[in-house]
Structure 1
């Protein structure tokens, strides 16, 4: 990707995060960059194309987190805890997507389609991690699989929509938001852990 395209995406991300998707146009992005809107449209025809590109970069970021994981996880709790915090940082970086997710999905159905498929793909990955935690004695063995599958759904709801809750309630910014909601997220697992698991999880 050219340096100009990267700068356009970086500028758009900043504006979308600050002002939302409805208040930002191609002209606003071009003005912020000090170029003509015609020049910008040579690279990206409209804001929907830019939003799709930023969503793709977000997906690439999550893929990089997964690819960076060791082939054999030796400490599932540490892996899950650090992975959750890294995911929350990435979500905050692209927070406009999550704050406007319903509207973005209406504008760009391909994003909704990808998101739904992504949920289906991630469920077996999390269930496998839970299976490893059971074998290590850190996750309770008396929890039925169907309840763990509900927990997986809870994980995605909290991860993907904590920003909306924060926006209308606590309104925390930056590190304070990340610290609080990462801890809130991890706290969901408290009832599912064995005494051994509780020693290192929270």
Structure 2
């Protein structure tokens, strides 16, 4: 990808976040990119082509985030993935609003995104299962409890930044990760809590 194309796509993402996809015009993208509309048209024939390329970036980057998943005895591996989740959902804030547009027939983009977020949920539940197996999590008290915990964590990962934005609250990566870890804490065994206190909690004091 040329540097000009990258500049155009970065400008598009910025404007989409600020105004929503539908409200952004090619002229605005060209101005934000610091190029003429004619130069923009040389690289992308229309706005749909830009949107398609942005979606390709979204799927590529989210696939990379999912690929970092690792079941490990070390909680820090999950914390590292949380950083990537924060970067992704902070960078592409507009996409969640675009994804949830009313549509009785999901678009191809929506269908792809559904498959990705389903995989994301499966990874979270698998991590909880491993924590139980490793005796870092208490045994499940009632059937289905940890599936619900996984879904709550999944929702938080996707919507925390949007929730703060809607309420006019500034947030950062530390607050984002802290909100997720707080959903794990009630279920830690003494061993799990000890690792959390020694490895994860100090991160929040930086």
Q: 2:119 aligns with which of 118, 121, 134?
A: 121
Render the CA deviation track for 1:31-90: whole Å, top value 9, x for unaligned.
2224332432343344344333223323322322343456x6241x22222211221122
Q: 2:177 aligns with which of 163, 182, 195?
A: 182
Contact 1:140 1:194 in 2 (8 A): yes
Q: 2:195 aligned with 1:197, yes or no?
A: no
Q: In structure 2, what is the Cα distance between the partners aligned to 1:45 and 1:151?
A: 46
Who is 1:165 aligned against? 163
Q: In structure 2, what is the Cα distance between the partners aligned to 1:19 and 1:105?
A: 20
The 5 A counterparts of 1:1-202 are 1-68=1-68, 73-75=72-74, 77-103=75-101, 109-144=107-142, 146-172=144-170, 176-201=171-196, 202=201
Deviation of the 1:105 alpha carbon:
7.3
Render the CA deviation track for 1:103-160: whole Å, top value 9, x for unaligned.
3979982222112222332333333222221121111112455222222222221111
Contiguous gaps of at least 5 residues in structure 1: none
* Pairwise CA RMSD: 2.8
Report the count of equivalent residues.
197
Inter-CA distance 52–157: structure 2 relative to 1 (3 Å threshold): farther
Q: Normalising by structure 2, report the TM-score.
A: 0.79
Inter-CA distance 188–68: structure 2 relative to 1 (3 Å threshold): closer
Deviation of the 1:183 alpha carbon:
0.9
Contact 2:59 2:113 in 1 (8 A): no
Q: Which moved more, 1:188-197 or 1:37-46?
A: 37-46
